[in-house]
Structure 1
Amino acid sequence: MKFLFDENISYRILKKISTLAPQSLHVSRIGLTQPASDLDIWNFAKKKGFVLVSFDEDFQDLSHLNGFPPKVVLLRVGNSSTQNIAEILFSKWSDVEQFYQSETFGLLEIF
């Protein structure tokens, strides 16, 4: 599984989750014009097989409009540190894996 982390999450998350998802990338490092539009990020994730991870509810809207792929993990944990986000992902990893394997669901909200 590989994540594409939105710009509202620090690129430092990559190091913290590298044991779980070593092929993950951050939006700032994929060659899109910065700031990248949500649609450009969506299309990149779809084309390259990433799961989008964001706080941005616009990706929820895109998921409802377009379906999946890409799948979207929407973090609903408020303003959180990079360390806290990593800990949340680790603690919810079994849910994330089930979501990733699901052929039914394209959006996972983590509270």
Structure 2
Amino acid sequence: MQIKEVRWLRPPDTILKLNTDVSSLKNPYSIGGGGILRNSLGEMVYAFTIPLGVGTNNRAEALAAIHGLQWCVQHGHKNIILEVDSELLTKWIAQNIKPP
């Protein structure tokens, strides 16, 4: 077992950071997600939790990120760092692998 310290790092002054994560009772089963958007001072701009129906944890990761990013766009926030803990989602976004 290895223990690794994880810390939230502030974004640059003109950028907001969106962190999202999900929960799945089983895979696939009921899924939900949430997120928090913060400014460079660490102040909360927006936070959410959202039921996402039934699906896989990978679907939940994508839907939670999409929900948070859509909120940002709808409210005029365009300079966003998206931070997730899903390696698969990061590969989908970077187009390293094709999503289903």
TM-score, normalised to structure 2, is 0.30
Which one has a bigger Cα radius of gyration?
A: 2
More helix by share: 1
TM-score, length-scaled by structure 1: 0.28
